[in-house]
Amino acid sequence: MTEILKTPVTGPAAWKAADHQNNDNWIRYFSDAELSEITEATRRLKASGIGPEEFTREDFPLPSLSAVMDDIHEELENGRGFILLRGLNVEDYDLETLKILYWGLGTHLGDIISQNAYGDLLGYVTDFEGFQKGGYYDKGVRGHRTRAHLHPHSDSSDTVGLLCVQPAKKGGRSMICSSMAIYNAILENHPEYLECLYDGFNFDLIGKGKTAAEISDHKIPVYSYYQGWLSCRFNKRQIELGMEKAGTPLNDLQQAAVDYIRELSTHDDFLLHMDFRPGDIQLINNHCTLHARGEYEDWDDEQKKRLLLRLWLNVPNGRPLAPEFANRLNTGARGGVTKRLEVDENARPAHQ
């Protein structure tokens, strides 16, 4: 029998917007000494001719930052579930050097997994397709490859990291909310939704499966309580499309439960807004935090277009996950996206 948590989630991960919107205690600034250490490690790797995705943590030593990384892991796993690292000056590096730097930091944050069908471990969040807002999932296009508004959702890894290289001309604000605080609201106001949310849904993998039109081969819980840990996996449209493709469209209760999460996740009481500056690194625990993005207007100049570098990370000795929750992409527990496509370098934006 699936265990359902019947008491409210307590602790810093169950936060609301008012807890953080008037302070910056969720921002950590790199010190000059830390930045020098990062730059030196990056310089050595670049001089060796080794590129990103080709080296490990041992090749990118950060002796004084090791304790900082431990603190970051603690904040993500046992604290509020998110942090913003600030102070990196991206103008000091060209893009290829910045990719080495970010990959190096990533090796200290966790095990990096594939995030798309090209097998990319270091991903680009930018406007590839030029699709208008809406409809991108239906066309097999993932939202981060557009300029569209992205509703609150979680990604298929323990942690997602975003490094802002260049912000948009206008818009594109990042927004996050606590899926633990949302759970408490469901428990208080609509406990009748819990059973179907724990039972889960077939998710449309929107091109992240072994085939282009694949859905999850089992139902993935939206909320899972396992070995004392509550975890969340949510994407409204992927749930709706996945259940339609499975031949079992959402019934009235299921639709109401999914709609209620969407309603709460976009409410001002829950949603914390943050603007990315160049060099900002946002880290989010997907199991307790949902993230979103506003629609944006981009620059006409290809060299100035909005660009974030993204890592999907699994945390060493991370929280225990139920088997049906941990297998999110038909690739086993905490598995990444199956590579099935070849990269068309001509499709990359010019500044990449």
pLDDT truncated to tens, each residue of the chain (352 aa)?
A: 699 999 999 999 999 999 999 999 999 999 999 999 999 999 999 999 999 999 999 999 999 998 899 999 999 999 999 999 999 999 999 999 999 999 999 999 999 999 999 999 999 998 765 444 444 444 444 445 566 779 999 999 999 999 999 998 988 899 999 999 999 999 999 999 999 999 999 999 998 998 888 999 999 999 999 999 999 999 999 999 999 999 999 999 999 999 999 999 999 999 999 999 999 999 999 999 999 999 878 888 888 899 999 999 999 889 999 999 999 999 999 999 999 988 665 555 444 4
For position 136, what pLDDT does the model report? 45
Rounded to whole angstroms, the Cα distance separating 308 from 24 reads 22
Q: Is 160 helix (H, G, I), strand (E, B) or coil?
A: strand
Cα distances (angstroms) measured from residue 152 to each of 28, 261, 265, 326, 336: 24, 9, 6, 20, 21
The secondary structure of the chain in percent helix, strand, coil, rounded to multiples of 5, reads 30, 20, 50
Is the distance from CB of 204 to CB of 245 less than 8 angstroms? Answer: yes
Q: Report how far apart the first and last C-alpha atoms of the chain are (Å, whole number).
A: 50
For position 212, what pLDDT does the model report? 86
Is the distance from CB of 337 to CB of 116 less than 8 angstroms? Answer: yes
Provide the 8-state DSSP code for 210. Answer: S
For position 344, what pLDDT does the model report? 66
Tokens of 155: 């990604």
Rounded to whole angstroms, the Cα distance separating 246 from 217 reads 9
- Ramachandran bin of 96, using left for φ above 0, alpha for ψ from -120 to 50, beta for the remaining angles: alpha
Tokens of 19: 């807890």
Is the distance from CB of 240 to CB of 256 less than 8 angstroms? Answer: no
Is the distance from CB of 328 to CB of 220 less than 8 angstroms? Answer: yes
In 215-255, which ranges are E strands? 223-226, 229-232
Rounded to whole angstroms, the Cα distance separating 6 from 194 reads 9
**pTM value?**
0.92
For position 172, what pLDDT does the model report? 85
Query: Which H helix or E strand runs over 159?
Result: strand 159-166
CATH class of domain segment(s) 17-347:
alpha beta
Angle at 326 between CA 72 and CA 116, to 5 degrees: 80
- Alpha carbon 46 to its chain's center: 28
Q: Is 7 helix (H, G, I), strand (E, B) or coil?
A: coil
Q: Is 3 helix (H, G, I), strand (E, B) or coil?
A: coil
